[in-house]
């Protein structure tokens, strides 16, 4: 790491002596101005929320065939515990907190509450699924008898026809991040920008997104934790993976097979060319995809023999079908589509979607990782930036595939607009920049923890054996177990760890009341329907 002297903040020097060329030049200038003006204090208002998926499996490691537990409430209307693609795929959603530790604590408590409602089942502790005897037996999530509930179900039926049922068992973590309006107002004034606050905030979030896309390969190297999977996941599919043991496939230097082309990907989405340079071009690209027919999906049919196979036969059924590793988001109002919310009120927060579940951690993510993500995302916002052209977009995609499949390969190189560079050299340059932001956050919060989070990643950069992906493979080899058996063992260990700390009685009561209220809300929605589903869907698609 470079030893630099940035400036004085509250009497403390932020280490820096030379400017970090190109990558951090603008970052350093922005940080200096935030510190000298006192506007850095607004970074205390950063908000965090976490969404985490987890399969329900029985004590033998088989996918649960039971319905979503009634004690967890309605999967359609409970805002904290729901399901994602499969009926067996739980999704936990924390409220928004200023401190990432508070979001993580709440996530732990959602797991504890869920375990009170599970009967002879555990929450799977990895991103890639357990052994699945028959993909046809994977239950698709159901959301009751209302039109909106049926729409959510049919959307998932469409995913089955387009991508196969196995895809509906992959799990991950989404890290939601936003900055307060007071920060945007201060930064806008600092940059002497004359746009409206809404326009400026949205444009700035897209600047963050562009730099995230350039550097997200680093997150896959540092935190990827799915280098292996059960061979049942690829039953009948061509692949280039190797056998680690009888039922476990892997790649020797893989980091995150979940984020590889083995996951959600297809030729239709690959051809979209979604533009992340501006909000309006992003919305236009998605809108076009939602309204452009795709021959392969037309061949499937929308409604066949009285049953819906998909919501429509276009490239995307709805916006959420586009599986990017980061999304601009805005909380929607009742009946509002995500694109309409973005168009009407701009970007509110960003959702980081490339985080694997770490099998060594009880809830799959820890505070050190969250603090690094904060420093990383703020760095992406403040560093120098240009728009992403077609050539760079292709290089970004190629680099991501390199890292997910070969990220720990000695001497691996990445391709950039400026030429070829080793992953280690590119990582050093990036982490030098993130360290500047971490020092500022340390001083702001009176803690060394942000810089320590960066130092932990530097160590992984220089010793790949420290990465979660390498540790997973080492543990698998040492155990002599298959992927399913080893992960079942880890999952049961995490269950025991979480249950060692009793759930606070008041919180347990609150979560139980929320679950009960969600069931009542679902009944009200179902009772309020006044048109048949065909009419409802036609109105929804036309809106």
State the SS3 of 64-127. Answer: CCCCCCHHHCCCCCCCCEEECCECCEEEEECCCECCHHHHHHHHHHHHHHHHHHCCCEEECCCC
Closest CA to 396 of 150, 206, 216: 216
CA distances to 127, 173, 352 from 94, rounded to whole Å, are 19, 12, 15
pLDDT grade for 266, boundaries at 50, 70 and 90:
low
106 occurs within a structural domain:
yes
326-329 and 228-230 strand pairing: unpaired
Closest CA to 275 of 328, 317, 314: 328
Q: Which two tokens stand for residue 300?
A: 């499937």
Q: Which two tokens stand for residue 406?
A: 């070969």
The 8-class DSSP code of residue 256 comes to B
Contacts of 521 (CB under 8 A, 6+ apart): 74, 77
482 occurs within a structural domain:
yes
Crossing angle of the two packed helices 468-479 and 483-500, in degrees rounded to 10: 110
Q: Count CB-CB contacts under 10 A for residue 55.
A: 27
Which residues lie across from 56 on neighbouring strands? 123
Let me know: does 94 contact 107? Beta carbons within 8 Å: yes
2 occurs within a structural domain:
no
Nearest-5° Cα angle at 205, 167 to 38: 135
* pLDDT per position as a tens digit, 238-253: 899 999 999 999 999 9
Element (H, E) at 483: helix 483-500
- Helix and strand counts by DSSP (H, E) for the chain: 17, 16
Nearest-5° Cα angle at 224, 315 to 403: 70
**How far is Cα 171 from Cα 190, in angstroms, rounded to an integer?**
41
Instruction: Name the residue range of residue 139's domain.
Output: 8-542
Query: Total domain count for the chain?
Result: 1
Let me know: does 404 contact 224? Beta carbons within 8 Å: yes
Q: What is the mean pLDDT of the chain?
A: 93
- pLDDT beyond 90 at 229: yes
pLDDT grade for 514, boundaries at 50, 70 and 90:
very high
Torsion (CA) 517, 518, 520, 525 in degrees, nearest 10? 140
pTM for the whole thing? Answer: 0.94
Please report, in angstroms and rounded to a whole number, the separation of the first and last CA atoms in the chain.
Answer: 53
Q: Which two tokens stand for residue 446?
A: 């009176």
509 occurs within a structural domain:
yes
Q: Determine the pLDDT at residue 199.
A: 97
State the CATH number of the domain containing residue 95: 3.30.590.20
Among all chains, which residue has been given the structure tokens 């509450």?
113
**How far is Cα 460 from Cα 194, in angstroms, rounded to an integer?**
42
Percent of the chain with pLDDT over 90: 88
89-93 and 81-83 strand pairing: antiparallel
Q: Determine the pLDDT at residue 268.
A: 65
365 occurs within a structural domain:
yes
3 occurs within a structural domain:
no
**How far is Cα 65 from Cα 138, in angstroms, rounded to an integer?**
8
pLDDT grade for 259, boundaries at 50, 70 and 90:
very high
pLDDT grade for 29, boundaries at 50, 70 and 90:
very high
Q: Determine the pLDDT at residue 21.
A: 45
**How far is Cα 206 from Cα 215, in angstroms, rounded to an integer?**
14
Q: Which two tokens stand for residue 101?
A: 């530790």
Decide: helix, strand or coil at residue 254.
coil
**How far is Cα 292 from Cα 298, in angstroms, rounded to an integer?**
11
508 occurs within a structural domain:
yes
Torsion (CA) 505, 511, 513, 515 in degrees, nearest 10? -150
Element (H, E) at 307: strand 307-308
Q: What is the mean pLDDT of residues 57-65?
A: 97
* pLDDT per position as a tens digit, 67-120: 999 999 999 999 999 999 999 999 999 999 999 999 999 999 999 999 999 999
Give residue 489's Cα distance to chain centre. 25
pLDDT grade for 264, boundaries at 50, 70 and 90:
low
**How far is Cα 262 from Cα 205, in angstroms, rounded to an integer?**
29
Let me know: does 440 contact 14? Beta carbons within 8 Å: yes
Q: What is the mean pLDDT of residues 46-59?
A: 98
CA distances to 102, 107, 260, 324, 507 from 93, rounded to whole Å, are 13, 7, 25, 19, 15
- pLDDT beyond 50 at 7: no
Q: Determine the pLDDT at residue 534.
A: 97
- pLDDT beyond 50 at 262: yes
DSSP readout, 157-201? Answer: HHHHHHH-GGGGG---EEEEEE--HHHHHHHHHHTT--S-HHHHH
**How far is Cα 357 from Cα 363, in angstroms, rounded to an integer?**
8
């Amino acid at each position: 790491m470079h030893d630099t002297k940035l400036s004085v903040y509250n009497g403390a020097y932020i280490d820096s002596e030379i400017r970090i060329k190109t990558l951090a030049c603008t970052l350093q200038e922005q940080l200096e101005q935030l510190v000298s003006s006192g506007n850095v204090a607004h970074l205390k208002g950063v908000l965090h929320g976490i969404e985490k998926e987890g399969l329900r499996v029985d004590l033998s490691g088989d996918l649960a065939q039971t319905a979503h537990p009634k004690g967890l409430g309605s999967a359609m209307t409970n805002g904290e515990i729901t399901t994602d693609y499969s009926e067996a795929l739980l999704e936990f959603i924390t409220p928004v907190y200023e401190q990432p530790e508070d979001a993580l604590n709440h996530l732990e408590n959602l797991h504890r509450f869920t375990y009170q409602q599970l009967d002879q089942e555990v929450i799977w502790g990895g991103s890639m699924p357990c052994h699945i005897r028959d993909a046809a037996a994977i239950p698709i999530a159901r959301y009751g008898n209302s039109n909106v509930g049926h729409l959510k179900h049919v959307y998932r039926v469409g995913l089955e026809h387009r991508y196969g049922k196995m895809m509906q068992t992959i799990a991950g973590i989404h890290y939601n991040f936003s900055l307060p309006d007071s920060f945007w107002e201060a930064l806008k004034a600092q940059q002497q920008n004359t746009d409206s606050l809404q326009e400026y905030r949205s444009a700035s979030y897209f600047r963050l997104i562009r730099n995230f896309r350039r550097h997200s390969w680093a997150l896959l190297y540092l935190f990827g934790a799915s280098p292996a999977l059960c061979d049942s996941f690829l039953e009948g599919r061509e692949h280039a993976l190797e056998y680690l043991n009888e039922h476990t496939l892997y790649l020797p230097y893989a980091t995150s097979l979940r984020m590889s082309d083995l996951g959600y990907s297809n030729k239709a989405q690959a051809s979209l060319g979604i533009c992340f340079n501006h909000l309006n071009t992003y919305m236009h690209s998605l809108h076009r995809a939602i309204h452009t027919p795709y021959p392969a999906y037309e061949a499937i049919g929308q409604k066949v023999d009285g049953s819906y196979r998909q919501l429509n036969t276009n490239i995307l059924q709805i916006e959420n079908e586009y599986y990017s590793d980061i999304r601009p988001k805005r909380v929607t109002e009742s009946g509002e589509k995500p694109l309409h919310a973005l168009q009407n009120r701009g970007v509110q927060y960003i959702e980081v979607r490339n985080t694997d579940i770490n099998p060594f951690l009880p809830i799959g993510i820890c505070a050190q990782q969250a603090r690094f993500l904060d420093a990383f995302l703020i760095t992406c916002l403040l560093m120098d930036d240009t728009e992403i052209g077609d050539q760079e977009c292709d290089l970004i995609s190629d680099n991501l595939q390199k890292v997910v499949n070969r990220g720990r390969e000695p001497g691996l190189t990445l391709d950039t607009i400026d030429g070829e560079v080793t992953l280690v050299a590119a990582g050093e340059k990036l982490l030098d920049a993130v360290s500047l932001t971490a020092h500022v956050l340390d001083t702001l919060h009176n803690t060394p923890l942000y810089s320590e989070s960066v130092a932990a990643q530097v160590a992984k950069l220089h010793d790949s054996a420290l990465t979660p992906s390498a540790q997973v493979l080492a543990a698998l080899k040492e155990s002599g177990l298959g992927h399913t058996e080893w992960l079942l063992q880890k999952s049961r260990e995490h269950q025991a760890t979480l249950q060692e700390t009793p759930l606070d009685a008041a919180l347990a009561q609150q979560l139980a009341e929320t679950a009960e209220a969600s069931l009542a809300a679902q009944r009200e929605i179902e009772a309020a329907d006044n048109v048949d589903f065909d009419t409802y869907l036609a109105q929804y698609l036309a809106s």
